[in-house]
Structures are given as C-alpha cells and as structure tokens.
Amino acid sequence: KALALAGLCASVFGGMACVARPLGGYIGDRFGKSGGFTGRVRWLFLVLFGEGVLLMLFSQARTIAMAIPALMLFGLFVHMAAGATFAVVPFVNRRVLGSVAGIVGAGGNAGAVLSGFLFKMEGVSWTTALFVLGVVVTVGSFSSLLIGEQREEADDARASAPMPALADAT
C-alpha cells in the first residue's frame, strides 16, 4: 500500500507537466499582452523565484505531510517556469531564434549536470544540496530581469539608428 502511494505521488509530479507547462506559457502570454516583452519576463522571474523558495521549503520538510505538498507546489512552479521560459524565448531575438532556443536548452542540461555534482560531493547531505539549489534558483531568478533590460536597450538603439538609404533604382 505504501509503495502504491509513493508511486502515485511520483506520477503526480511528472503528470503535472501536462497541465502546468502550458499554464505557464498561457500566463506568460497574458502577461505579454498587458506588459509586452517586459511583462513576459516579469512572469518568468516570478515563477523562477517561487520555484527557488519552494525548493528551499521542500528541503526543510521533516514529515511526509509537509514534504508532499511542498513537492507538489515546487513541481507546479518548475513546470510553469518551463512554459514561461518558452513564452519569452521567441521574443528575445527573432533573427536568431534557433540559437536562443538552443542556448536555453543547453543551459538547462548544463545546470542539471552541475546540480548532480552537488549531490555527489562528500559531506553534503541531500537536505543541504536541495537547499543550496533552492538558493541558487532564487538568486538566479533575478538574472531573468536582465533579459528585459538588454532587449529594451537594443530596441532603443535600433529605434534611434538612422534608416539605411535605399539604392537608386534608375
């Protein structure tokens, strides 16, 4: 019976992706409709920040009654962050969309590998490793706000640049 309950809890985390990723993208689109690119980035920041805080909370859970809800909320934010990320990616730079998407995907894989090393370090408990990852995600969430600032600076530069002269066709 306990094994079946554990399996059910684990499946909910993975199954949540079917609903929460599209939800994260949908909410990102709603933020984009009202706040443009900056709105999308703000939503990405919010879900990443929440993901980090909830991971720290999960790492400190001492009972199963605390751990399961914390894990479920954390999972919700993880999957919504994936959707929010890809609500932002197409608007970073349309001319190099493939490169941007590739870098985002590779960055996620690199983060997963580096996180794995944290769990292999001698003397670092799982509780500590999860808490450190929560801190890294929470602090790192602020870097997402730089995406909007960089894009706005680029847009301003393009707007103030003189239009190129058209070649005379005659």
What's residue 6's pLDDT? 82
Q: How far apart are CA 150 and CA 107, in angstroms?
A: 19
Residue 164 has pLDDT above 80, yes or no: no
What's residue 162's pLDDT? 57
Q: What is the DSSP letter of 89?
A: G
Residue 1 has pLDDT above 70, yes or no: yes
What's residue 2's pLDDT? 86
- What are 145's two structure tokens? 């706000």
pTM, two decimal places? 0.81
Q: What is the pLDDT of residues 80-131, one digit of tens each?
A: 999 999 899 988 888 888 898 899 889 888 989 999 999 999 999 999 999 9
Q: How far apart are CA 164 and CA 167, in angstroms?
A: 9
Q: How far apart are CA 81 and CA 59, in angstroms?
A: 19
What's residue 153's pLDDT? 56
What's residue 119's pLDDT? 92
List the single range of 1-5, 32-36, 94-98, 165-169 with lowest mean pLDDT. 165-169
Looking at the chain, list the stretches that DSSP marks H as alpha helix, in order from N- to C-terminal side. 2-15, 17-59, 64-88, 97-120, 126-141, 144-160
- What are 24's two structure tokens? 């994260």
